[in-house]
Amino acid sequence: MKTSHTAFLISILLLASFSSLTHGLILNGLPIGAVRVNGVLFCSLDGNLVGNSPPLSGAIVQLSCAGSQTNLGQALTNPAGAFVVLVRILDTLLFDPSTCFVRVNLPVATCSVFPPNGALTASINLVNIVQTAILNIANFTTGPFISSVL
């Protein structure tokens, strides 16, 4: 009798360990397994495209949530100033689109127009959710960048 109870308990624990996370990120009723944040940064006073502002290459872009200094992900801007921050499946538990933002700490060596200190921050906006056989990917883009003093 004791053996059957032990086997039952072990089978329940195994089933529980293979089940998906029940408190993960849910957007539009879909469980999200990964997050992508796309954006473009320019060498201007606020990091946005102004006139013929050149793209900002080689800047480190960080994704943070809830005012935290903990970064969920980071990326380096390419020669066109574009970046993609990918958030891993486990980090989506900490991801709340209403409190997350993209940050670039200043100064950036490749742009002399920026103020000598502070940060550029931008909100993020949901573009779409791509459903795959393995997981759902939430795609976000950045809003306008705003210059702030740290």
> Do 41 and 83 form a contact (C-beta atoms < 8 A)?
yes
DSSP secondary structure letter of residue 92: G
Q: In what order do the strands lie in the sheet with 71-76?
A: 71-76, 60-65, 100-106, 118-131, 136-148, 34-40, 82-87
**pLDDT tens per residue across all 150 residues of the chain:** 556 556 555 554 444 444 444 457 888 888 888 999 999 999 998 899 988 999 999 999 999 988 766 788 999 999 999 999 998 877 777 788 888 999 999 888 888 888 778 899 999 999 999 999 888 999 999 999 998 876
Could you give the CA distance from residue 143 to residue 48 in angstroms, rounded to a whole number? 10
pTM here is 0.79
Could you give the CA distance from residue 97 to residue 75 in angstroms, rounded to a whole number? 18
